[in-house]
Amino acid sequence: MDFRYLGNSGLKVSEIIYGNWLTHGSQVENDAALACVRAALDSGITTFDTADVYANTKAESVLGEALKGERRASLEIFTKVYWPTGPGGPNDTGLSRKHIMESINGSLERLGTDYVDLYQAHRYDVETPLEETMQAFADVVRQGKALYIGVSEWTADQIRAGHALAQDLGIQLISNQPQYSMLWRVIESEVVPASKELGISQIVWSPIAQGVLSGKYKPGAAPPEGSRATDEKGGADMIKRFLDDEVLTAVQKLQPIADGLDIMMAQLAVAWVLANDNVAAAIVGASRPEQVESNAQASGITLDDDVLKAVDEALGDLPETDPAQTKSPSARVV
């Protein structure tokens, strides 16, 4: 496993991060979740990403239980705040001071730790003054409950404003967590240049496009039984944008590229996002330990310019590149 610095900080993370969105406490049973975490640790992964909203807090509890007994200083544990949790009361969502301060305490209890390495704003809150949000994050850091601050799916302008306030408050905003893959490249034109300028790294989610870039979904064929496309708990909704026959046909053209490198298509997809020098790590999820082990092997794979060009030629103009696709809800969801 290779490691990279997160932003301009001194914090190193494994370039493959294990994430438990749509799995722990939801899609897979606890025994399988524990086995996946053990496979991640055995593969050299030291960084784990979750959020309080995943399975309405259950995912944090499962991850905390899975990491119990591990040396805390040898791990990097990330979580997030914004989306509704609990019974969904008027203050159970957003980035208000009240919700942030209550959420960090709940997350630490569920994770079984005194602090998280990175606390992330899961979306931008248009209904709370940014100054209030950043002051609350600064207090969380000063209380020792988080070491660094990050954001997720913020636009370039939002990142700039947040970074400026963080500097004024003497805390480090070091990361953004966007969706990014061969098929979803909306961060490249605005978010990445702004982040490079500010010393902020990307921690990308869905590098395999919900599994589509693994090649297992075939044009004109029904999704494999038990796959994310058949999951009615949320997975099917997220993947449907990629299940177009034109997209699936183009994805099959990536198989010869992977074969030429003697790697799997999913490993090619993860290595592709890691080829972007502003990406510090790729988050991978799994429902089976062997998926974790396979994806972890993408660490250290170097793709030369000819390979990157071949990927672009295979996919043509199908990848989404519109920076306006990076957006947060226009109002809090309660």
Active site residues: 54
Beta carbons of 273 and 232 less than 8 angstroms apart: no
Q: Is 7 left (phi over 0), alpha (psi -120 to 50) or beta?
A: left
- Separation between Cα atoms, residue 273 and residue 41, nearest integer Å: 22
